[in-house]
A and B are shown apart, each in its own frame.
Chain A
Amino acid sequence: MATDRPPAIRVQDLQKRFGDVEAVRGVDFEVHAGETFGFLGPNGAGKSTTINMLCTLLRPTGGRAEVAGFDVVTQRDDVRREIGLVFQDMTLDTYLSAAQNLRFHGQLYGVPSARLETRMRQVLELVGLWDRRDKDVSTFSGGMKRRLEIARGLLHSPRVLFLDEPTVGLDPQTRASIWEYLNELRHAEDLTIFLTTHYMDEAENCDRIAIMDAGQIVALDTPQALKAAIGTDRIRLETDDEAAAAAAIKRQFGLEASSVAGALELHVPDGERFVPRLLADLGVAVRSVSVTRPTLDDVFMTFTGRTIRDAEANPGSEIPAMFRGRR
């Protein structure tokens, strides 16, 4: 990741108010050029509002934002030309073929006709739909439609690709294949990806993650750093004598162990190094032991008080009704 280049997205004190409701309350962050940036948060946190402002679909009520070096308010069309958008809801014309959808898009974005056909082939091959280019989109499966939308989002060679829940509503296999294409893409194109997701494993793919809650960014770092910051690994211990083991742990290490579902649990900073000492000094027979690293779900829970899955509910509720589509 090149950090010497200007940031792909720069947001300063961005605000959006709908009447009395402050949806976004002064948000600051930067997305580096070339990175994959995950944007997480419960519904109603202001995620979609923020994205819609970055995509020039909503006008901020305060602060400013630049995407690809252009101001989202004063240089709207420049921003639009530099970004690719894949929304939660499908935005394809199912009456037309895949190629017709792409051609329409390419022309609207001013891709010169001489390069359009070459570029169409590139993006369709990238998502594995070149063979199906002349088929009507109405015959496509959900995963194929999503891949086509990703291809379309890339057609005009954007510098920033926005993916709003790119795999929502898709089965696990299709999700995996979409991510294969996305990973391929990150290496093939010099592209910044800005994505929202409710899937923890997808968030793990990101270079950095921002967590938004109640209109503010509450955490922003790499997945590893975020997990390290909330600290401790969880050790789960099955013993022959739980009470004796708990007492020994308290005596030897000064740690509180609690009994959870037939096993002892305790939290330590570096679990894997702690386990050998624990076993050596415990003096109680141990039947099994496991060490669990904090997950992003734990991170999410710490900052928002909810699990990522709980946060997933009626997606798209923040989009003005006029722009909302349906699958």
Chain B
Amino acid sequence: MTTTVQTSLELAPVERPPTGLAADIRAARIVCHRELLRWLKDRRRLAAGLVQPLLWLFVLGTGLSRVVSVGSENVSFRTFLFPGVLATSVMFTAVFSGVSVVWDREFGFLREMLVAPIRRTSIMAGKCVGGAIVATAQAVIILALAGLADVPYSPVLMIELLAVLFLASLSITAFGLLLGARVANIQSVMPVIQTVITPMMFLSGALYPTSGLPVWLAFATKINPVTYAVNPMRHVVFSHLDLTPAAARVLDPGLTWNGWPVPFALQLVILAGLGLLVFAIAVKRFSKTD
């Protein structure tokens, strides 16, 4: 081996890769690719990401449908729950994708990325987009079960849902990154997720209609960022169902600020804006070198 290697080794002049935005995007793509590779290799994570939503949907949804009146003649509780479960699934997968930066740090790989001739923003953007793709892909599997929750397989509905899911995934992964920047070690990850993410899920209206809530709960729902992910998803699903106006008012009341109905587009803008904001803070925290 020695001799052949010695003759074949030479200094390969490294061509300078493109600089500026093109280089940043290229680097982000490489980091993103690694996220996907890891996900594809990790079957357990894939399976674990499906168990919880299926429990929500078919165990909780079926069990509660006996006692919960959703105020309507032709809508099952499972149907109501479906967009909420999608949002919940995306939320947990995306947060974990973002928080995985703690593992990267603990096991050293973060350092490999931080010493490369690329910008920190690229690393974070790559992790963010990669995490969002993973979360959306997991949700697609649940989306495939729409029929079991009496949600129609309308192509338009699916495309709209996917778009909202991906946007939500991006923002929530960014939030996960920010959590990851603040969490000191792996041991603290679970408690943080329990105390931060679980309340956000419960206060988002993912699991119950937000109409007719007591004032304090309605307020908590409105200031919860996750609401701005759940509500658009529910709206997309319900706009494709054949509902009486009365049922729609109860199940898909929409969001109001002091009586003003917040437009669908504005909800998405808020979701994207919050995502950008937490991303910027996360990048800032990771850029502190000295």
Residues of A within 8 A of B (CB): 55-59, 76-78, 80-81, 85, 87, 89-96, 100, 104-105, 107-112, 115, 119, 122, 125-126, 128, 136, 156-157, 184, 187-190, 320-326
CA distance A114 to B38 in the complex (A): 25
Given contacts A104-B34, A190-B11, A325-B107, contact A126 B112 (CB under 8 A): no
Q: A100-B37, A107-B30 are in contact. Are A80 and B107 (CB under 8 A)?
A: no
In the complex, the number of residue pairs spanning A and B with C-beta atoms less than 8 Å apart equals 119
Residues 79-122 of chain B: 1 if any A CB is under 8 Å from the residue's CB, otherwise 0? 00000000000000000000000000111111111111110000
Which residues does chain A contribute within 8 Å of B66, judged by CB atoms?
A: none
Q: How far is the CA of A249 from the CA of B42 in the complex (A)?
A: 75
Which stretch (B12-20, B158-166, B261-269) binds chain A? B12-20
Q: A87-B111, A108-B30, A184-B2 are in contact. List 10 more A-B contacts (CB 8 A).
A: A57-B115, A59-B289, A80-B116, A93-B107, A122-B5, A157-B13, A189-B11, A321-B184, A323-B110, A323-B114
**Could you jot down 19 A-B contacts, CB within 8 Å?**
A59-B289, A85-B115, A87-B111, A89-B108, A91-B111, A96-B37, A105-B112, A105-B116, A108-B31, A109-B116, A109-B117, A111-B14, A119-B12, A122-B8, A125-B1, A190-B11, A325-B105, A325-B109, A325-B110
B156 at the interface (CB under 8 A from A): no
With a cutoff of 8 Å between Cβ atoms, the chain B residues found around residue A115 in the complex are 12
Identify which of residues 139-156 in chain B touch chain A, using a CB-to-CB cut-off of 8 Å: none
Question: Whose C-beta in chain B lies nearest to the C-beta of A125?
Answer: B5
Query: Known: A107-B30, A157-B14. Contact between A55 and B115, CB under 8 A?
Result: yes
A76 contacts which chain B residues (CB < 8 A)?
117
Of A95, A100, A156, A323, which one neighbours B111 at CB under 8 angstroms? A323
Chain B interface size band reads 35 or more
- Complex: A97 Cα to B272 Cα, angstroms: 35
Residues in A neighbouring B107, C-beta threshold 8 A: 90, 93-94, 325-326
- Return the contact of B9 from the options A110, A112, A126 (Cβ within 8 A): A126
Say whether, besides A95-B42, A187-B6, A190-B11, A110 and B108 are in contact (CB < 8 Å). Answer: no
B residues in contact with A320, CB < 8 Å: 289
Q: Shortest beta-carbon distance, B279 to chain A, in Å?
A: 18
Expressed in whole angstroms, the minimum distance between the Cβ of B248 and any Cβ of chain A is 46
**B73: Cβ under 8 A from any A Cβ:** no
Nearest Cβ on chain B to A212's Cβ, whole angstroms: 21
Within 8 A of A (CB), among B38-58: 38, 41-42
Question: Could you tell me the distance in whole angstroms from the C-beta of B75 to the nearest C-beta in chain A?
Answer: 43
- Complex Cα gap A92–B16 (Å): 25
- The answer to whether A58 and B37 have CB atoms under 8 Å apart is no
**Nearest-neighbor residue (CB-CB) of B15 within chain A:** A112
Residues of B within 8 A of A94 (CB): 107
Hey, which chain A residues are within 8 Å of B34, CB to CB? Answer: 93, 96, 100, 104
